[in-house]
């Protein structure tokens, strides 16, 4: 039968959710188009999130390595940081990766439309092109919204993008700030705190909750706070920002401390990293009747909205706001449309990482959550202090902490803080997926010497069989 629509699947937004879902749609034989309002593809992740920040964080690591050079028997006559070049490298990396998405779209014969997309009906999108002011309407049997998020702000901390900034501005500052207040100690806040401290900025982090990285296991977060304080970052937890206001050449931030007293922080910039909210405005959602909930589009486990034919995936659909979660949701959504049987995404199987050094990664429940859920648990830990590879590398801070169900040995939660944490978490994701027990993990032969031996030893420790501690 001839197509009654221009496309089988139209995706709005080309981030890791949108572009991967478009590729999967094309693989499954659907005539697919992707609509992106920016001139570059790849979304926040490639252009203003995951990738450029990792470039900046690599710089921070190089700086720390140089500072430790003497320990490795290398004498340096000081070194200088060219901040502009640091930023430029990060932009180059982002551009290169974003261009890769352009190539992938061509390779998969996906039609790219660089314009602003808005639902006109459940099967029509109006696309406006900023370049020449023109617009067109395309029809599609299925429409997948993957428009992502933007930084959340609160009235007492008015973002002006000059002095009170978001991660966007923090990524491309013209010169290195002398001082920075970071409001919010989630992954984004902590990564910038680590980076700016490394380049020589005086950094103060303010967090409302009792710990930094509030989603992490308490013991891991405490370990990170200790390490970052050693590096020179000031951390205020249980601290509430009352207000931040731009003053001449800087920002004044008023903070209420745990004991009720007030503290004033004066800094060149304040970075607001208190969370994100979905890009749901001006998308035609109200007109077409697509339901939203607390700033995100309401969906079922396969991205279906309340309007037939309209789907939402990735950040704009809420839940865990991470790139790999967006990608899996996009692929699942398309496979469901195709009548395949994708497995619904289990939030407990999504790894979450923070890429400062030491880096932090986790999957599944914290110790507290497991106990609150009523599990009887056994916990195994292995400190990198006892790891040969970590010691030889000069990175022996941190630990692996694994939480197992006592009865069946099932892995409930994995928590790593240390140099290679974000790489090491993958094996535990696999273990969880295959429902491996503590014994399976520690009976798996790990190469020596590696950081990942700590995973094996932590699993062994949970069974009282650790060898090297
Ligand atoms: P996005 O990547 O946000 O893409 C949405 C796209 O839709 C954008 O390109 C936007 O321009 C486009 N768009 C929006 N509205 C329209 C419209 N009406 N018409 C056309 N186009 C539209 N996640 C990780 O997993 N690891 C990390 O290390 C990490 N680091 C991060 C660091 C920072 C500073 C930030 C801000 C985020 C980070 N994230 C990280 C989160 C990650 O970037 C997001 O989870 C991910 O980008 C979500 O993908 P998405 O496809 O849902 O949306």
Is the beta carbon of 184 within 6 A of some atom in ligand 1? no
How do residues 371-428 score in pLDDT, each as one tens digit?
A: 999 999 999 999 999 999 999 999 999 999 999 999 999 999 999 999 999 999 999 9
Question: Distance, CA 14 to ligand 1 centroid (Å)?
Answer: 8
Measured in Å, residue 236 CA sits from the centre of ligand 1 at 29
| Closest residue CA from atom 9 of ligand 1 | 43
Contact 249, 162 (CB under 8 A): no
Closest CA to 166 of 86, 81, 277: 277
In the chain, what percentage of residues exceed pLDDT 90? 97
Q: In ligand 1, which atom is closest to the CA atom of 115?
A: 20
- CA 270 to CA 253: how far, in whole Å? 8
Predicted confidence at residue 411, as pLDDT, reads: 97
Indicate if ligand 1 lies below 6 Å from the C-beta of 116: yes
Q: Where are the beta strands (DSSP E) in 157-281?
A: 164-165, 179-183, 202-206, 234-236, 240-247, 250-256, 262-267, 269-272, 276-278
Q: Which strands, in side-by-side order, build the sheet including 411-418?
A: 352-354, 359-364, 411-418, 399-405, 377-383
**Which residue, 47, 41, 42, 43, is CA-closest to 114?**
41
Residue 3: what pLDDT?
Answer: 61
Query: pLDDT of 50-62, one tens digit each?
Result: 999 999 999 999 9
The first and second tokens of residue 236, run together, are 């205020």
Query: 346 C-alpha vs ligand 1 centroid, how far in Å?
Result: 21
Q: Is 395 a catalytic residue?
A: no
Residue located via tokens 């995100």 = 296
Kindly report each contact of residues 82-86 with a partner whose C-beta sits within 8 Å and lies 24 or more positions away, as own/partner: 83/173, 83/175, 83/176, 83/199, 84/174, 84/175, 86/56, 86/59, 86/199
Residue 321 alpha carbon, nearest atom of ligand 1: 45
Verdict on whether the full-model pTM lies above 0.95 = yes
Q: Is 54 annotated as a binding residue?
A: yes
Q: Sheet harboring 262-267: ordered strands across?
A: 240-247, 250-256, 262-267
Whether the bond into 457 is cis, omega within 30 of 0: no
Q: Helix, strand or coil for residue 182? A: strand
Ligand 1 center to 283 CA (angstroms)? 16
364 lines ligand 1 (CB under 6 A): no
Give CA–CA dist 267/347, Å, rounded.
Answer: 38
279 lines ligand 1 (CB under 6 A): yes
Separation of alpha carbons 415 and 361, rounded Å: 6
Low-confidence ranges of the chain (pLDDT < 70): 1-3
Atom of ligand 1 nearest to the CA of 54: 28
Structure tokens of 390? 């970590």
Range list of β-strands (E), 189-233: 202-206
Structural contact between residues 7 and 140, judged by C-beta atoms closer than 8 angstroms: yes
Q: Cα-flanking dihedrals φ and ψ of residue 2, to 5°?
A: -70, 150
Ligand 1 pocket member 18 (CB < 6 A): yes
User: Residue of the nearest CA to atom 53 in ligand 1?
Assistant: 148
Q: Is 413 in the pocket of ligand 1 (CB under 6 A)?
A: no
ipTM of the complex: 0.99
Closest CA to 212 of 233, 242, 195: 233
**Measured on CA atoms in the order 21, 27, 30, 32, is the torsion positive or negative?**
positive
Evaluated on CA atoms 434, 440, 445, 446, the torsion sign reads: positive
């Amino acid at each position: 039968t001839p197509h009654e629509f221009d496309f089988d699947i139209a995706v709005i937004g080309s981030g890791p959710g949108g572009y991967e879902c478009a590729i999967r749609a094309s693989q499954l034989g659907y005539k697919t188009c992707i609509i992106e309002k920016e001139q570059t593809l790849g979304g926040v992740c490639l252009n203003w999130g995951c990738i450029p920040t990792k470039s900046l964080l690599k710089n921070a690591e190089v700086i720390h390595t140089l500072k430790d050079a003497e320990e490795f028997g290398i004498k340096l006559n000081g070194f200088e940081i060219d901040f502009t070049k640091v930023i430029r490298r990060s932009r180059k990396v982002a551009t290169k990766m974003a261009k890769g998405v352009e190539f992938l779209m061509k390779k998969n014969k996906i039609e790219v439309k660089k314009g602003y997309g808005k639902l006109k009906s459940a099967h029509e999108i109006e696309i406006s092109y900023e370049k020449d002011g023109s617009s067109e309407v395309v029809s599609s049997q299925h429409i997948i919204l993957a428009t992502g998020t933007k930084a959340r702000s609160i009235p007492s901390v008015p973002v002006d993008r000059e002095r009170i900034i978001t991660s966007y501005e923090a990524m491309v500052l013209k010169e290195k700030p002398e001082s920075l207040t970071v409001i919010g100690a989630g992954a984004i806040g902590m990564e910038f705190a680590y980076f700016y401290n490394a380049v020589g900025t005086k950094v103060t982090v303010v967090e409302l909750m009792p710990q930094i990285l509030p989603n992490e296991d308490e013991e891991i977060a405490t370990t990170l706070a200790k390490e970052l304080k050693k590096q020179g970052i000031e951390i205020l937890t249980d601290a509430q920002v009352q207000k931040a206001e731009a003053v001449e050449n800087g920002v004044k931030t008023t903070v209420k401390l745990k004991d009720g007293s007030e503290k004033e922080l004066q800094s060149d910039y304040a970075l607001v990293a208190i969370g994100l909210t979905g890009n749901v405005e001006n998308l035609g959602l109200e007109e077409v009747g697509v339901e939203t909930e607390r700033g995100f589009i309401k969906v079922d486990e396969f991205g279906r909205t309340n309007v037939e034919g309209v789907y939402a995936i990735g950040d704009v659909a809420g839940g865990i706001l991470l790139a790999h979660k967006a990608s899996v949701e996009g692929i699942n959504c398309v496979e469901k449309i195709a009548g395949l049987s994708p497995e619904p995404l289990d939030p407990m199987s999504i790894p979450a990482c923070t890429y400062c050094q030491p880096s932090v990664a986790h999957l599944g429940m914290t110790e507290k959550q497991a106990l609150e859920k009523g599990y009887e648990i056994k916990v195994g830990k292995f400190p990198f202090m006892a790891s040969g590879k970590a010691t030889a590398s000069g990175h022996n801070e941190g630990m692996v902490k694994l939480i197992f169900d006592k009865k069946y040995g099932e892995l409930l939660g994995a928590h790593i803080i240390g140099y290679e944490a974000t790489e090491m978490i993958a094996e535990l994701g696999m273990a969880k997926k295959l429902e491996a027990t503590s014994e399976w993990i520690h009976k798996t032969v790990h190469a020596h010497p590696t950081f990942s031996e700590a995973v094996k030893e932590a699993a062994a420790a949970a069974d009282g069989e650790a060898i090297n501690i």
